[in-house]
């Protein structure tokens, strides 16, 4: 790939502007964060059809078949959740990168496309975002504001942790995800505020895709007004895709512990059009029933979502409605339940490493920040403060590296009779050469090793693409690509074993790429030397 010059986030050097003619829409900070979370925590499935693209024969997706959370990074991508779901269902390529060009047959969001959708504007690039926002001082930044570097990358600020670290939502690397990379991640960036945003604080509004209203008993009734909803992200139903449900909605969740018939009815006022929908997940392709006022379905045990959504004809018709839900048990036994997702990239899942770069990546939306591997196996892990943080790994432990940083290890890598917890420098027991691959690489070795590539990196460990910071020149697989000249870095020693802990660095995050079938594949973070 030729990465000799930085490129604009989203659409190369094309001037992606604000889709001229779209007026700025007022939006509250709560709504911005609701929209950001909807894109980051969206469930979807990659099939074999999504690995290629109909408009470019050389295209190859970096994804592998399976279930994922968070829309994929897509160079030039700007689309609604409904459009994304429809395109993926129809075989569009799963994401793309600068070397692919801006394609009309791939699906996802790039960094500026994500921000534009979160702000509910037309598509602005990092170089034209000033047309709809104003620069602000660092001490004025509030949830829903962004950090922007023109021609490079943009990230949405969410909040600051008790540790003082910032939390962002961004489309970078593989997908739209939540991250806490440290303030250095936005060194050299300009804080900006959307001109039509209102409010100073955010909460956790109910009735959204990430905080649905729970229905705990029957009969159930609820009265609301969609003009007051903070959620407006579910714009259609897979069961009836031609019906436009582009207005605001309220999302309800119901869990059935016995099979039976569920009936949901909506009554609304004159001049109001709220329709009732039934989903098995918050993916619009999983909307399997819709009606103008009443639907009734025989359901198995499991969790379902009822959505009261605003219809759009010549205009949107939001307003007051009354929802009634009833359930009659059939008396039968539970079956296999509705379709569900088994997300790739969870803690403990196999992950991409030099021995098999085609495995899925560790997904930060699922708490996975590290890929630990040896010559024959790998698993997603996370930093830890003690064994109690590693309960997801049966028999696992929290092992401290010579750097003083600790990671959860599977039982096979924990010392016999020892917790291997933080505060110890005990190596895992002999029997392999565990190493890490995924976000960044932390080395612990039993021999003279050079810096290994991060998640899926090729033998040369070459880096490209990334929002750069500090002294390590990097380039991300996101909104800008530039040369990343890196020197080989020796790995530190740890006992008898070679361990490469690939993780997201807090102080300095870098994105690398690895060659996969002639294509570069981004990793989640940097390679770091441990001494």
- In the chain, how many H helices and how many E strands? 3, 33
**Domain annotation covers residue 132:** yes
Asked if residue 252 has pLDDT above 50, the reply is yes
Q: How far is Cα 378 from Cα 350, in angstroms, rounded to an integer?
A: 5
Q: How far is Cα 481 from Cα 5, in angstroms, rounded to an integer?
A: 7
Q: How far is Cα 452 from Cα 440, in angstroms, rounded to an integer?
A: 10
Q: Examine the domain organization and report whether 310 and 356 are in the same domain.
A: no
Count CA atoms closer than 13 A to 319's CA, side-chain side. Answer: 14
Q: Examine the domain organization and report whether 324 and 364 are in the same domain.
A: no
Q: Examine the domain organization and report whether 66 and 184 are in the same domain.
A: yes
Instruction: Give me the CATH number covering residue 70.
Output: 3.90.1720.10
Last-in-domain residue among 329, 355, 377? 329
Q: What is the pLDDT of residue 195?
A: 97
Tell me the pLDDT tens digit for each residue of 16-73: 443 433 556 899 999 999 999 999 999 999 999 999 999 999 999 999 999 999 999 9
Q: Examine the domain organization and report whether 280 and 424 are in the same domain.
A: no
Instruction: Give me the CATH number covering residue 314.
Output: 2.60.120.380
Q: Examine the domain organization and report whether 325 and 354 are in the same domain.
A: no
Asked if residue 325 has pLDDT above 60, the reply is yes
**Domain annotation covers residue 21:** no
Crossing angle of helices 111-119 and 29-40, rounded to 10°: 140
Asked if residue 431 has pLDDT above 70, the reply is no
Residue position matching structure tokens 């936005």: 186
Nearest to 374 by CA among 426, 419, 437, 324: 437
Q: What is the pLDDT of residue 430?
A: 25
Q: What is the pLDDT of residue 439?
A: 35
Paired tokens of 85: 């779901």
Per the CB < 8 A criterion, the answer to whether 275 and 309 are in contact is yes
Q: What is the pLDDT of residue 527?
A: 22
Asked if residue 519 has pLDDT above 50, the reply is no
**Domain annotation covers residue 48:** yes
Count CA atoms closer than 13 A to 108's CA, side-chain side. Answer: 39
Q: How far is Cα 484 from Cα 166, in angstroms, rounded to an integer?
A: 25
Q: For the residues 247-269, what does the mean pLDDT come to?
A: 98
Please state, as a whole number, how many other Cβ atoms lie within 10 Å of the Cβ of residue 149: 22
Q: Concatenate the DSSP letters of all residues of 169-238 into one string.
A: EEEETTEEEEE---GGGGTT-EEEEETTEE-S-----SSSSSSPEEE-SSSEEEEEEGGG-SB------T
Q: What is the pLDDT of residue 381?
A: 92
Last-in-domain residue among 198, 228, 257? 198
Return the beta strands (E) in 17-152 as ranges. Answer: 27-28, 43-46, 66-69, 93-94, 106-107, 133-135, 146-149
Q: How many domains does the chain have?
A: 3
Q: For the residues 170-187, what does the mean pLDDT come to?
A: 95
Q: How far is Cα 431 from Cα 428, in angstroms, rounded to an integer?
A: 9
Per the CB < 8 A criterion, the answer to whether 525 and 440 are in contact is yes
Q: For the residues 217-244, what does the mean pLDDT come to?
A: 97
Q: Examine the domain organization and report whether 362 and 509 are in the same domain.
A: yes
Per the CB < 8 A criterion, the answer to whether 493 and 502 are in contact is no
Strands across the sheet with 287-291, in order?
Answer: 213-215, 249-256, 302-310, 274-279, 287-291
Q: What is the pLDDT of residue 105?
A: 98
Asked if residue 228 has pLDDT above 70, the reply is yes
Q: Examine the domain organization and report whether 289 and 171 are in the same domain.
A: no
Q: How far is Cα 487 from Cα 460, in angstroms, rounded to an integer?
A: 11
Asked if residue 145 has pLDDT above 80, the reply is yes
Q: How far is Cα 3 from Cα 95, in angstroms, rounded to an integer?
A: 19
**Domain annotation covers residue 4:** no
Last-in-domain residue among 198, 223, 238? 198
Q: What is the pLDDT of residue 437?
A: 29
Check residues 87 and 431 and name the one with the higher pLDDT: 87
Average pLDDT of the chain, as a whole number: 79
Q: How far is Cα 309 from Cα 312, in angstroms, rounded to an integer?
A: 10
Per the CB < 8 A criterion, the answer to whether 84 and 104 are in contact is no
Q: How far is Cα 194 from Cα 203, in angstroms, rounded to an integer?
A: 19
Q: Please, which pLDDT band fits residue 229 given cuts at 50, 70 and 90?
A: very high
Please state, as a whole number, how many other Cβ atoms lie within 10 Å of the Cβ of residue 375: 13
Q: For the residues 329-356, what does the mean pLDDT come to?
A: 94
| Beta-strand relationship, 441-444 and 527-528 | parallel
Q: Examine the domain organization and report whether 375 and 435 are in the same domain.
A: yes
Q: How far is Cα 126 from Cα 342, in angstroms, rounded to an integer?
A: 35
Asked if residue 531 has pLDDT above 70, the reply is no
**Domain annotation covers residue 58:** yes
Cα separation values, 68 from 96, 357, 360, 365, Å: 16, 17, 9, 10
Query: What distance lies between CA 20 and its chain's CA centroid?
Result: 29
Lowest mean pLDDT among 51-65, 415-429, 485-499: 485-499
Q: What is the pLDDT of residue 403?
A: 65
Q: How far is Cα 63 from Cα 52, in angstroms, rounded to an integer?
A: 10
Nearest to 52 by CA among 94, 98, 110, 109: 94
Q: How far is Cα 270 from Cα 325, in angstroms, rounded to an integer?
A: 22
Q: What is the pLDDT of residue 435?
A: 27
Q: What is the pLDDT of residue 474?
A: 27
State which residues form the domain around 227. Answer: 213-329
Q: For the residues 148-164, what does the mean pLDDT come to?
A: 96
Tell me the pLDDT tens digit for each residue of 161-176: 999 999 999 999 999 9
Q: What is the pLDDT of residue 373?
A: 82
Query: What distance lies between CA 323 and its chain's CA centroid?
Result: 32
Q: How far is Cα 406 from Cα 232, in angstroms, rounded to an integer?
A: 41
Nearest to 457 by CA among 379, 499, 513: 513
Q: How far is Cα 525 from Cα 522, in angstroms, rounded to an integer?
A: 9
Per the CB < 8 A criterion, the answer to whether 235 and 81 are in contact is yes
- For the CA atoms of 57, 58, 64, 70, the dihedral, rounded to the nearest 10 degrees, stands at -90
Percent of the chain with pLDDT over 90: 66
Q: How far is Cα 201 from Cα 212, in angstroms, rounded to an integer?
A: 20
Per the CB < 8 A criterion, the answer to whether 92 and 107 are in contact is yes
Asked if residue 491 has pLDDT above 90, the reply is no
pTM value is 0.79
**Domain annotation covers residue 423:** yes
Per the CB < 8 A criterion, the answer to whether 440 and 530 are in contact is no
Q: For the residues 386-393, what does the mean pLDDT come to?
A: 93
Nearest to 59 by CA among 17, 21, 102: 102
Q: What is the pLDDT of residue 357?
A: 86
Q: Please, which pLDDT band fits residue 530 given cuts at 50, 70 and 90?
A: very low
Asked if residue 520 has pLDDT above 60, the reply is no
Paired tokens of 510: 């870098």
**Domain annotation covers residue 318:** yes
Q: For the residues 418-437, what does the mean pLDDT come to?
A: 28
Q: Examine the domain organization and report whether 246 and 354 are in the same domain.
A: no
Q: Examine the domain organization and report whether 185 and 217 are in the same domain.
A: no
Q: Examine the domain organization and report whether 282 and 354 are in the same domain.
A: no
Return the beta strands (E) in 32-174 as ranges. Answer: 43-46, 66-69, 93-94, 106-107, 133-135, 146-149, 153-160, 166-172
Alpha helices, H only, 332-447: none
Q: Examine the domain organization and report whether 428 and 500 are in the same domain.
A: yes
**Domain annotation covers residue 237:** yes
Tell me the pLDDT tens digit for each residue of 121-140: 999 999 999 999 999 999 99
Lowest mean pLDDT among 163-177, 313-327, 415-429: 415-429
Lowest mean pLDDT among 159-168, 251-260, 406-415, 423-432: 423-432
Tell me the pLDDT tens digit for each residue of 443-480: 222 222 122 223 332 222 322 233 332 332 223 334 64
Q: What is the pLDDT of residue 22?
A: 53
Kindly state the helix (H) or strand (E) to which residue 39 belongs, with its residue range: helix 29-40
């Amino acid at each position: 790939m030729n990465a000799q010059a930085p490129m604009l986030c989203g659409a190369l050097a094309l001037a992606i502007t604000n889709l001229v003619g779209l007026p700025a829409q007022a939006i509250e900070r709560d709504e911005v964060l609701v929209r950001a979370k909807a894109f980051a925590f969206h469930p979807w499935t990659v099939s074999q059809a999504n690995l290629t693209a109909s408009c470019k024969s050389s295209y190859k997706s970096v994804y592998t078949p399976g279930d994922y959370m968070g829309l994929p990074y897509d160079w030039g991508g700007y689309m609604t959740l409904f459009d994304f779901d429809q395109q993926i269902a129809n075989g569009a390529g799963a994401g793309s990168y600068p070397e692919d060009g801006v394609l009309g047959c791939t699906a996802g969001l790039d960094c500026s496309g994500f921000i534009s959708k979160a702000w509910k504007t037309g598509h602005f690039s990092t170089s034209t975002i000033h047309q709809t926002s104003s620069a602000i001082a660092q001490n004025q930044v509030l949830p829903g504001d962004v950090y922007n570097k023109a021609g490079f990358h943009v990230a949405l600020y969410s909040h600051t942790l008790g540790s003082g670290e910032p939390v962002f939502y961004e489309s970078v690397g593989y997908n739209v995800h939540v991250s806490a990379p440290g303030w250095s991640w936005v060194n050299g960036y300009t804080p900006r505020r959307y001109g039509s945003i209102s409010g100073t604080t955010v909460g956790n509004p109910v009735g959204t895709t990430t905080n649905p209203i729970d229905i705990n008993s029957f009969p159930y009734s609820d009265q609301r007004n969609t003009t007051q909803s903070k959620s407006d992200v579910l714009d259609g139903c897979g069961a009836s895709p031609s019906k436009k449900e582009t207005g605001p909605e309220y999302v309800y969740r119901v869990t059935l512990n016995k099979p039976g018939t569920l009936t949901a009815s909506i009554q609304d006022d004159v001049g109001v059009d709220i329709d009732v929908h039934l989903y098995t997940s918050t993916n619009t392709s999983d909307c399997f029933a819709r009606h103008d006022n009443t639907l009734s379905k025989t359901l198995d045990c499991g969790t379902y979502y009822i959505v009261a959504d605003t219809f759009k004809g010549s205009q949107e018709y939001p307003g007051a409605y009354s929802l009634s839900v009833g359930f009659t048990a059939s008396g039968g036994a539970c079956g296999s339940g509705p379709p569900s997702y088994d997300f790739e990239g969870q803690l403990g899942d196999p992950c991409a490493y030099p021995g098999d770069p085609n495995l899925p990546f560790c997904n930060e939306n699922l708490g996975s920040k590290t890929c630990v591997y040896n010559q024959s196996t790998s698993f997603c892990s996370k930093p830890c403060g003690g064994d109690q943080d590693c309960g997801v790994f049966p028999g696992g432990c929290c092992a401290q590296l010579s750097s003083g940083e600790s990671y959860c290890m599977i039982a096979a890598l924990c010392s016999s009779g020892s917790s291997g917890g933080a505060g110890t420098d005990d190596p895992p027991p002999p029997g392999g050469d565990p190493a890490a691959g995924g976000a960044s690489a932390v080395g612990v070795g039993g021999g003279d090793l050079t810096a290994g590539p991060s998640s899926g990196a090729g033998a040369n460990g070459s880096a490209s693409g990334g929002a750069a910071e500090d002294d390590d020149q990097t380039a991300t697989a996101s909104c800008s690509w530039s040369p990343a000249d890196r020197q080989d870095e020796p790995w530190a020693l740890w006992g008898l074993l070679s361990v490469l802990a690939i993780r997201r660095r807090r102080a300095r995050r870098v994105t690398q790429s690895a060659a996969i079938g002639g294509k570069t594949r981004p990793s989640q973070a940097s390679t770091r030397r441990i001494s």
